[in-house]
Chains A and B, each alone.
Chain A
Amino acid sequence: MRVTNQSLSSQVQDTLQQALRRLTETQEQISSGKRINRLADDPFGAVRSLDVQSLAASLSQYQKNIAAGLPVLNQTDNVLGDVGDALVHAKEIAVSMANGAMSAADRASAAAEVRELSARLLSLGNFQFENRYLFAGFANGAAPFTAAVGGATYNGDSGTIDIQANRSTRVTVNLPGDSVFQGAGVAGGTDLFSTLADLETALTVNNVSGANGITTQIGRLDAGLDQISAFRAQVGARIETLNTARQGLETMQLKTTEMRSNIEDVDPLKVYSDFARLQQAFQAALESSARVVQPSILDFMR
């Protein structure tokens, strides 16, 4: 093939241009630390990276959801513990007052103590956490229980508040008060408020073993304690579910970081050795070009 001055010079230009472009591309990768700086660098990788980014955003939202739900459940667990304590205390009173050695006056004074426990139970039923009533169902903006003759009235609803714990799992983070405190919807459920009110009445009127007497109330208190334990177990299981979900999310979150880095980040070893190689190639191209372009027949004609 005949070589001419123009084709020689354009070939030198092409070669240098190409070497310089590859060098610049590698330099961009080094300075950004990213293999994918624009979509066209690797469309498939870029899309996978976007997918992973979206997954990471969801994971962090699920973690926030759990972070919002867990304290509610923990608080519910505490309150149920307190309710249990109050019931145990009431039962102690009832058991000791059922003893034949106690006088009517003893029982009348114990009635005052039970009245206090009633008030305490009411305030536990109206427990507020982060300005929301724990036991009001959906209607958690207002106190769910108001005291009434012989017990309490429930003003809440039976709504169940779910949180999205991960893509496929929803966990209920509330217990409706009418079920917990009044046994609504629970097989053989016990109304704790009316139990305490009835106990107070039995103590006041000194009714030990008659109808609605202290003995009857002891039985109802036992049933009430079982009811509370059952709900506590339910709350405990939900806390466990959320903790498990959270651990899963944290593991996944770490993995997404790793996946994203695998897709996007440059392999420093490879990119630096590429850079050195390209630099050398560019240098060689420059030098050889200089030698090819320089000499001319004119140099030898003087």
Chain B
Amino acid sequence: MSILTSLSIAARAMQAQQEAIQTTSHNIANVATPGYSRQNALMSASAPALEGQLLLGNGVTVTGVRNVVDRFAEMELLGRNASLGYADARARALGALQDAFPVSGGIQSALDGFFNAWSALSNNPGGQAERVAVVNAANALSYQFSQTRSLLVDGQTNLDKDLNTAVGNLNSLLTQIADLNGQIAGAEAGGQPANDLRDQRQLLLQQVSRLTGATVLGGDAPQATVLVGGLVLVSGDRAATLDTDTVGVSGFRLVNYTSPNGGLSFDASTLFSQGEIGGILSLRDTEIPDMLGRLDQLAKTVVDQVNTQHAAGFDLNGAPGGNFFAPIGAVAGAANAMQVAAAVAADPSLIAAAQTAAGAPGDNGNALAIAGLQNGVFAALGNKSPQDYYLALVQDVGSQAQSAGDQADFQQSLLSQAQARRDSVSGVSLEEEMTKLILFQRAFEASSVLVRTGDEMYQTIIDMVR
């Protein structure tokens, strides 16, 4: 009987080695597949058979195929993706926004140009050319203000478009994860792990985490539950739906949430504070509005102060000065509304350069006073001069852009390290696989020799009888 047993051991061994070789081939084939974790054919000695007094070995069986995964490394990778998504979104947007505040020229030099034009007018208060130059410098200043403002608003609009794209991606990822949840639950009903499907899902979860900083519950359970700020994004084989079709009071898109079972629907914008979407929302709704507010405040203060001082003087005809700039009511949007008063633009002799009502062409008192506003400090600007107020804004934007860039680099390197840790456990090493391949191949060859040996033994027995 034992020859037959040997033959069956040999046959099962060849079967097992083939399965191991197939697993190795699968690993080699997926050496470059992102998110793939290497698989091992789990071989174990078959239960021994009792023959008489002897407990004889009964060969090998493959009891399963497992992928090698470090749950902790996978978790870390999710977290790193969330931080990188947030930092990257900010670095990209702020990198573009900083160009609204050039390192030479821009509002700063337009402010200088404006006040220096008043100073030049004071040298020849009766001069038509000097008066026209003041109007031109004021136009240049208002152009710079509206240009800077529109660059910031462009930044907001671009972020709004990015949000739309990101939420679209997120929806498709969530649907895929929910589908995979269903497939994995089905495939694992028999007790064997669905390694490849789990790898795919893990990769998708990384992308969701990069977008939202989502956390994943469920551990090793077949179905992963995905949460963001207490919102359930995926539960079982159902995904929540997000849309950006509604526009809020700020004129930008809201993130609307509809729960996986469709029962709940509301504006969840404030719950997304992490990942790429969190980065986009914080810039679009907090930081850029702050920059715009400060820019508007500066524009309005310049307009108000110049108008007040202008009204205290007298024009070339001896009439009291009117508004130099068209007056601005609200602070919001002021940087876009700065404009030389139409009457003054049409007739620069209405510029009130004089401090007396005589209409004397040599009177430059008010021109000097307006030029002096350059160095004045104003309560509306937090007791700063226009220049210092502007420079503080530039400094803040620059620091934000700088630290966002540094953060993105830092998070990228953390992610690379986490990825390396994950790969060191789960990644495919060709050297390793080739070595295993040789082992399995040799084992297969040896098993085939076993079959031949068994065959020869039978032959020997048959020859004995003849």
Contact = CB atoms under 8 A, between A and B. Distances in A.
A51 B391 contact: yes
A62 B360 CA distance: 24
Contacts of B420: 1, 7, 10-11
A39 B387 contact: no
Interface string B209-252: 00000000000000000000000000000000000000000000
B391 A174 contact: no
A65 B104 contact: no
Interface string B358-399: 101111110010011011000000000001000100110111
A108 B139 CA distance: 66
Interface string A135-167: 011111100000000000000010101111001
A285 B405 CA distance: 24
Interface stretch (B18-26, B94-102, B181-189, B325-333): B94-102
Given A43-B401, A47-B395, A139-B362, A68 B123 contact: yes
Contacts of B103: 36-39, 46, 49-50, 264
A3 B375 CA distance: 64
Give the interface residue-count category, chain A.
35 or more
Most buried by B among A1, A42, A53, A159: A159
Contacts of B126: 132, 140-141
Given A50-B103, A57-B116, A157 B424 contact: no
B95 to A, nearest CB: 7
A37 B104 CA distance: 10
Interface stretch (B42-50, B334-342, B425-433): B425-433
Nearest to B398: A43
A57 B98 contact: no
Given A40-B95, A49-B104, A163-B123, A138 B109 contact: no
B65 interface: no
B108 to A, nearest CB: 5
Nearest to A4: B427
B108 A54 contact: yes
Given A2-B424, A38-B103, A301-B434, A164 B362 contact: no
B32 A157 contact: no
Given A49-B104, A53-B109, A138 B423 contact: no
Nearest to B375: A167
B40 interface: no
A4 B429 contact: yes
Nearest to A260: B104
Interface residues of B, number: 60
A298 B433 CA distance: 11
B123 A69 contact: yes
B113 A57 contact: yes
B419 interface: yes
A64 interface: yes
Contact of B419 (A10, A137, A138, A174): A10
A74 interface: no
B98 A40 contact: yes
Nearest to A62: B119
Contacts of B401: 38-40, 43
Contacts of A296: 430-431
Contacts of A43: 394-395, 397-399, 401-402
Contacts of B98: 38-40
B123 A138 contact: no
B206 interface: no
Contacts of A51: 387, 391
Interface string B81-110: 000000000000011001101111000110
A141 B120 contact: no
A6 interface: yes
A53 B405 CA distance: 27
B360 A297 contact: no
Contacts of A50: 103-104, 108, 391, 394
A61 interface: yes
B356 interface: yes
A57 B116 CA distance: 8
A14 interface: yes
B386 to A, nearest CB: 10
A162 B360 contact: no
A138 B104 contact: no
Contacts of B112: 53-54, 57-58
A180 B351 CA distance: 31
Nearest to A298: B434
Contact of A47 (B362, B364, B398): B398
Interface string B414-451: 00100111011101111100110000000000000000
A141 B317 CA distance: 13
A39 B364 CA distance: 39
Contact of B99 (A5, A38, A61): A38
A42 B403 CA distance: 11
Contacts of A7: 419-420, 423-424, 427
A59 to B, nearest CB: 10
B176 interface: no
A255 interface: no
A170 interface: yes
A164 B368 contact: yes
Contacts of A68: 123-124
9 contacts: A5-B427, A38-B99, A40-B405, A46-B103, A57-B109, A65-B123, A140-B126, A174-B362, A296-B430
Counting from the closest, the 4 A-B pairs by CB-CB distance are A43-B398, A4-B427, A138-B360, A140-B362
Given A36-B103, A43-B394, A164-B122, 18 more contacts: A5-B430, A7-B420, A7-B424, A10-B423, A40-B405, A46-B103, A50-B391, A50-B394, A53-B112, A54-B108, A61-B120, A68-B124, A132-B126, A138-B354, A138-B358, A161-B363, A164-B371, A264-B103
